[in-house]
Structure 1
Amino acid sequence: MKKIITLFAFVGLLAFSACSSSDDFDEDNDTIPLVFEIESEDFVFNNVDGYNLSYTFQQWIGDDLYDDETVLIYRLEDVLNSGAPVWQLIPRTLYLDEGELDYDYNFSPIGFKIFAGGNYNLNLTPQYLNNQTFRVVIIPAVFATSLDTTNYNEVMNTLKLSENQVKKVKL
């Protein structure tokens, strides 16, 4: 009887240690969170999409996204006196004296676009179109529903990502 209990305990220990939680990321997991910073970019205007920035994932990760990955995009809204950045999840509407300015984005497995639009002539507020900085966070889709994605720091902490892992890109 002791041998059977020992055998069950050993098998249970092996089964328990083989399990991993969904927030562990290692080389065996194809979906590894990544963060990229697009620094000091100016929106480009075209008659089809209006003001936008367009990128492919091939440029950054050398591949397309997996089906189980999703994208979060944050805009650098401010920098505090302490030097701490203030990241704002988009889509976002800013209510300005000139009118409403909207930042939005869409993505596919191949790439993404960030849009700026509004109900006024956006040329009146070039500070919201030029020299913009964004953080693009690629995460496993299961996290998108379980995280407060509006809180950039919570997203980074949950995904165990640090500032030195942010890849800066300038295109």
Structure 2
Amino acid sequence: MKKIVSFLTVFALLLTACEGPQGPPGFDGFDGLDGEIIASSAFEIELDFIEADNYEFIEAYGFDVLPTDVTLVYILWETLNGQDVWRLVPQTVQFNDGNLVYNYDFTQTDVRFFLDGTTDFTTLDDAFTLAQVFRVVVVPADNVGRTDITDINNVISKYNIESFPKR
């Protein structure tokens, strides 16, 4: 019996001393690009879409944006019971003569807000073109598919955004 216990003890020690192959190295809280920490930047902007500017507005970020980052834009759609309602752009409004689309595109240096659609922009009420409020959030592309980006509150929570500086 002592031989079996001794054999099992030696066998157990041999198994616990074995080591498998080392896996690939992971990140130490960095995104792997020159040690920069993955973070989200954001700002809020109020702008006017006017004919003289071809119903578009270009805003530089004012902070570093990595080539792999993604820009999300939300428009203040309405206020219900004192609560702001934000919608992910693009957003479409239907009229009798066509549609209006609030849209955007972005580069690594700026974001462009513009009106698109089939309606005659010159006939739009000022409520659709003046004092439009947008929130811009730049997030690391690796994380975009992991969050419901249609809800701005999910994005704010996920990326620990504390405020939207006004521009």
Q: TM-score, normalised by structure 1?
A: 0.72
Q: Percent identity?
A: 27
Task: Check the 8 A contact 2:51/2:122 in 1, yes or no.
Answer: no
Query: Could you tell me how far apart the structure 2 residues matched to 1:90 and 1:118 are?
Result: 14
Flag structure 1 segments of 5+ consecutive residues without an equivalent.
Answer: 9-14, 23-27
2:57 matched residue in structure 1: 53
Task: Check the 8 A contact 1:50/1:117 in 2, yes or no.
Answer: no
1:138 matched residue in structure 2: 138
Task: Check the 8 A contact 1:31/1:69 in 2, yes or no.
Answer: no
Letter in 1 for 2:142: V
**Following TM superposition, where does structure 1 have runs of at least 4 consecutive aligned residues deviating by more than 4 angstroms?**
18-22
Query: Could you tell me how far apart the structure 1 residues matched to 2:30 and 2:146 are?
Result: 14
Flag structure 2 segments of 5+ consecutive residues without an equivalent.
Answer: 1-11, 20-24
Q: TM-score, normalised by structure 2?
A: 0.74
- Which one has the largest radius of gyration? 2
What's the Cα RMSD here? 3.0
1:42 matched residue in structure 2: 48
**SS of 1:127's equivalent?**
helix
Query: Could you tell me how far apart the structure 1 residues matched to 2:51 and 2:123 are?
Result: 14
- Find out whether 1:76 has 2:76 as its counterpart: yes
**SS of 2:166's equivalent?**
strand
Query: Could you tell me how far apart the structure 2 residues matched to 1:98 and 1:77 are?
Result: 21
**SS of 2:55's equivalent?**
strand
Task: Check the 8 A contact 2:39/2:159 in 1, yes or no.
Answer: no
Aligned residues: 147
